[in-house]
Structure 1
Amino acid sequence: MTATLALPEIDDTALQRLESEGRLLNPLHKALTSKPGRVGFRGELALRFAPKLADEARPPELMCPQAMAIANVGEKDIPFFAGYLLSFEHLKDVAEVLGDGLSATGKYFLFCNNIDLSKKYKVPYGDATFYVLPIDESTVYNELLELLYLEKNDLKKKDTAGKLDAVANAALKFSANFESISYEQGLALMGPVRNPNENRPV
């Protein structure tokens, strides 16, 4: 069953603006987690909206799928965020959408389809630093488990909130000496953008 956030707690977290702007979409979880005072989200983050035509609601032009985030009641920062990007260039969109929810101490992970599979980067953007990693056929969740040395079997019995807590708790302790590059360097290094619809049956 999909958790929904009919909770006053989100109004006092850094996720409130994203929720009010209609950016927290298709949630597997959007509610309090098992940690007191923590709200969690797992779903898709809308990055860019299509122009509205009359009263027609159109799907977003750009999404960050497989997004995961936590926010604590009474705090203005998002301490942990992760998501999938088809192209590295959309790091800028993520940073601008999360905006003042980003902090210098937050742990932010972006798995990009068009960076070298052998490379991992740290990319400063504004006050925040993003860990940028390659992804091919896997999922953000599975890649995070591997990166954070979490055993999938240990999490199997947990519900979605419990899994999110476990990943977030490990992510908050994460540090790595990945190569540091600027956003502009990343744009120069990134590969071609894959067509997400290729090889799909019609």
Structure 2
Amino acid sequence: MTTIDLVRLEDTAFGKLDAEGRLLNAVLKEPMPAAGRFGFRGDIALKFQEAVADEKRPPEYAIEQVLAVADTVTGTIPVLAGYLHSFAYLKDAAEVLAPYLAPTGTYVFFVNNIDFLKKYRVPLSAEVSATVLPLDESTVWKETLELVSIDKNDVKKLSGAGKLQKVIDQLAAFSDRYEDLTYDEGVARMEPVRNRNANRPV
């Protein structure tokens, strides 16, 4: 891929989210090895705090630890994995991402407050569904590697974009047969949000 062919952030769905101030804490935000693709690792803000005296404040909550890629041809985000501190935030995630979700896409949300033994398939819209999995003290990166059976040593020597590309490719091919659950059913079943720092050493 030549410099002329490089995908620009503003030409992707991420560009629109970035213009809204939603792309935060980026670990990676660059063109991918695959043509027409742009990768992002970081957070996507869902609900903003009210600004005080023009002070820029962190979002009230976000999709955290996002692993995602945008496609310039379709204008969509065909693959995304991320962490939600509460199942209730899934509705906001669906609304914020709605213009960029593809019916054939793969969307995985690791959630703090669902039963550790449960795994669900939850509709985000009439055409798009997401896999919802439990997560407590691990990370989206580690859990996603395990989910798609990638050994961390297999990506160790790759560039940041190369690592994300390999994981995204595997995640795109991921399929599941988890329990179907509606958003309202999930809210009714969700547990209290666990303190992420409770068991960490001081």
Using structure 1 for the length normalisation, give the TM-score.
0.91
The residue that corresponds to 1:180 in the other structure is 180
2:150 is aligned with 1:146: no
Residue type at the aligned position of 1:106: G
CA 1:117/1:201 → structure 2, altered by over 3 Å: closer, same or farther?
Answer: closer
Contact 1:48 1:61 in 2 (8 A): yes
Indicate the residue corresponding to 1:165 in structure 2: 165
- Match of 2:146, SS state, is helix
Deviation at 1:22, TM superposition (A): 1.1
Q: In the superposition, relative to structure 1, how do residues 76 and 143 fare at CA in structure 2: closer, same or farther (>3 Å)?
A: same
Given that 2:136 and 2:196 are in contact with CA atoms closer than 8 Å, whether structure 1 keeps it comes out as no
Corresponding residue for 1:130? 130
Contact map agreement 2:7 2:36 (CA 8 A) in 1: no
Structure 1: segments with no counterpart, 5+ residues: 1-6
| Distance in 2 separating the partners of 1:8 and 1:19 | 15
Provide Cα deviations, 1:57-77, integer angstroms capped at 9, x if missing partner. Answer: 111111221111101123221
Identity of aligned residues (%): 50
Q: Distance in 1 between matches of 2:54 and 2:142?
A: 39
Helix, strand or coil at the partner of 1:108: strand
The 8 Å contact of residues 137 and 196 in structure 2, kept in 1 or not, is answered as no
- Paired AA for residue 104 in structure 2: T
In structure 2, what residue type is equivalent to 1:160? G
Residue identity in the other structure for 2:176 = A
Cα drift, residue 150 of structure 1: 1.0
Correspondence list, 1:39-118, <5 A: 39-118=38-117
Please, what TM-score do these two structures have when normalized by structure 2?
Answer: 0.91
Tell me which amino acid in the other structure corresponds to 2:64.
Answer: P
Output aligned runs, 1:13-24, within 5 Å.
13-24=12-23
Say if 1:13 and 1:75, in contact at 8 Å, map to a contact too. no
How many corresponding residue pairs? 196
Change (3 A) 1:196 1:138: closer
Amino acid corresponding to residue 135 of structure 1 in structure 2 = L
Q: Distance in 2 between matches of 1:189 and 1:103?
A: 27
Residue 3 of structure 2 is matched in structure 1 by none
Query: Which residue type is aligned with residue 75 of structure 1?
Result: T
Give the match for residue 10 of structure 1. 9
Q: Aligned partners of 1:37, 1:8: CA distance in 2, in Å?
A: 6
